[in-house]
Amino acid sequence: MIRKVSTLLYIVVLMIIIMGTASCNDPRTYDHYESVSLRGWLRNDTLTFDIPRQWEGNYQLALGIRATQSYPYRSISMIMERKVINYRHRKKHETTYHDTINCEIVTDKGMLAGQDGISNTEIRQRISSFHLNRNDSLHITIHHIMSRDAVPGISDIGIQLRKR
């Protein structure tokens, strides 16, 4: 009887260790999408992402785009403003970075780039790698700079932050 209990206890402990190590390997610290109207993402519709305070370390920022077959262009151009906000000596300091992003949506063959399916796709594009100090947070805004005021076919725009 004692042998069965100790074997069962050993198996339970082993499973907890395996699940614990497998669940801690995800380097994502932030992963969020904002929806855009499929009828058209308006130029003045600025998407905002507020990333909470992070631990000190090196990070990689990526942009995610979900698009449908109704997207009328081959690529999309956007402006991303990234503010790194930190508090040093009880004073708020902000450093602002601007990135112009051009992302291919439709390939030369007329197919949706990225992955997912035939009628929609998800494209992930690396933006930058940078260092954050402890308790730094980020405020990110994104808007498109296409010639049309309303760009149809984009359903979601997302931000992913990974610790490297």
3-state SS, one letter per residue, for 46-94? CEEEEECCCCCEEEEEEEEEEEECCCCCCEEEEEEEEEEEEEECCEEEE
Q: Report pLDDT digits (tens) over 35-53.
A: 998 789 999 999 999 999 9
Four-way CATH pick for 28-163: 1.10.3470, 2.60.120, 2.30.30, 1.10.1760? 2.60.120
Whole-prediction pTM value?
A: 0.80
Tokens 């090196």, residue located: 58
The predicted structure's pLDDT at residue 20:
60
Residue 55 has pLDDT above 90, yes or no: yes
Extract the tokens encoding 159. Answer: 């931000």
The predicted structure's pLDDT at residue 162:
96
Q: Report pLDDT digits (tens) over 61-100.
A: 999 999 988 899 999 999 999 999 998 778 889 999 999 9
Residue 128 has pLDDT above 60, yes or no: yes
